[in-house]
Amino acid sequence: MGDFVGIGLSVVSQFKKWPPMAETYSSIVYRPMLNLLTYNGDFLGGPFPLSESSHHRPVPVSRVKLVRALYDYATSLRIPVIFDRRVVDYEESDNAERAYAITDKEERFEADVVVAADGIGSKASKVMLGKEVKTLSSGYSIYRVTYPTSLLRKVPFLDHKYSFHNREYDYCEVYIGPKGTAIILVSPELTTWLLTHEVSLEASVFAQFESC
């Protein structure tokens, strides 16, 4: 299962143009109370509400639920969605009025706009920037996992700590350490753990070598 993602307010505001999507999004976002702690558990601050009314912070949402909501809304409008295609290149017309996505089977999809969502080092960078962009190590690595909260209930300590009895909000704890950060997000349905930590220079170089 996927982890959560924070969607910027400039993006979320676009959902208002499609009321059904806006309603769905509002129903699937997390509503956590954020607490800040040191890596050894000392309390730093909180609780801070993270909600759609918190205009200065993005609201976390499950990637799985968000993708499903976008897919369901698109298909409800009879917009065709094609899977099992691997896009290997992007192009645009000489007058920049048409865009193209090209697959590894030499299929050519034409559109007014192509959204290149292939991450860092996107093959679209040569169109947008005039050159390819290589990935570089940030010096950090991240471990993350999401699982049903029903599994958490099997551990008495966690079941007691993250109880939703008479609780309106989800849990969100951020543990700040000298060389990393841990985040725990618990809702009645899903639990997510994230650990971001420094990696050695040797590990970073090795990782880049392996990706070549």
pLDDT tens string 87-103: 999 999 888 889 999 99
Listed residue (150, 144, 142, 143) closest to 187, CA to CA: 150
42-79 pLDDT, tens digit each:
999 999 887 665 555 678 898 889 999 999 999 999 99
The per-residue pLDDT for 209 is 40
Least confident of 24-33, 127-136, 167-176: 127-136
Q: How far apart are CA 96 and CA 98, in angstroms?
A: 6
Q: Which two tokens stand for residue 9?
A: 């307010």
The per-residue pLDDT for 4 is 81
Instruction: Tell me the average pLDDT of the chain.
Output: 86
| Predicted confidence band of residue 208 (pLDDT cuts 50, 70, 90) | very low
For the chain, list the domains and their CATH numbers: 4-75+136-211 (3.30.9.30), 84-128 (no CATH)
Q: What percent of the chain has pLDDT over 70?
A: 90
Q: Rounded to the nearest 5 degrees, what angle is found at the Cα of 58, between the Cα atoms of 71 and 34?
A: 120
Residues belonging to the chain: 212
